[in-house]
């Protein structure tokens, strides 16, 4: 027997629905979705996770970690920077990246903890 995962009748809590609809400001939702879109790419998630483990990494470090060219690593790091998830500083001929703030580190940590729970350990 297939379990039904839908309501069998249509009704809703008008007060609750109206309150939540007012809170769903489209621009805020779009900005939140962009954060998850940036992290939805496996390579960028690897980079973000690596950056969550270290204060900063140079582009060459990141390239070696993800097994790519420095150009590819730079592309992904630049995207994370433009999305407001990472920041960089230049020191001589080297460019170092770090996560933008603690909120980003928390997102990565929570995602990692959740993935560990999902696989049972």
Fold (CATH) for 14-115 = Arc Repressor Mutant, subunit A (1.10.10)
Task: Evaluate if residue 71 carries a pLDDT over 70.
Answer: yes
- Tell whether the model's pLDDT for residue 121 goes beyond 60: no
pLDDT at 5 over 60: yes
User: What's the chain's Rg over C-alpha atoms?
Assistant: 20
Q: How many Å apart are CA 83 and CA 72, to the nearest integer?
A: 17
pLDDT band, residue 79 (cuts 50/70/90)? very high
Kindly state the average pLDDT of the residues 86-98.
97
Strand 86-91 versus strand 57-58 pairing type: unpaired
Mean pLDDT within 98-106: 93
Residues 34/73/66/121 CA torsion (nearest 10 deg): -20
Q: Please tell me the pTM assigned to this model.
A: 0.82
Q: Can you give the residue ranges of every domain in the chain?
A: 14-115
Residues 6+ apart with CB under 8 A from 35: 83, 84, 85, 107
Q: What is the pLDDT of residues 8-61, one digit of tens each?
A: 888 999 999 999 988 888 778 888 899 999 999 999 999 999 999 999 999 999
Give the integer Cα–Cα distance in Å for 113 and 111. Answer: 6
Grade residue 6 by pLDDT with cuts at 50, 70 and 90.
Answer: confident
């Amino acid at each position: 027997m297939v379990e039904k995962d839908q309501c069998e009748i249509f009704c809703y809590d008008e007060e609750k629905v109206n309150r939540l609809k007012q809170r769903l400001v489209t621009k805020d939702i779009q900005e939140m979705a962009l954060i998850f879109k940036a992290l939805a790419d496996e390579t960028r998630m690897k980079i973000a996770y690596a950056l969550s483990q270290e204060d900063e990494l140079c582009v060459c470090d990141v390239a070696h970690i993800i097994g790519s060219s420095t150009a590819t690593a730079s592309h992904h790091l630049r995207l994370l920077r433009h999305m407001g998830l990472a920041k960089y500083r230049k020191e001589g001929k080297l460019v170092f990246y770090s996560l933008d703030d603690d909120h980003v580190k928390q997102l990565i940590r929570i995602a990692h903890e959740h993935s560990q729970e999902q696989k049972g350990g």
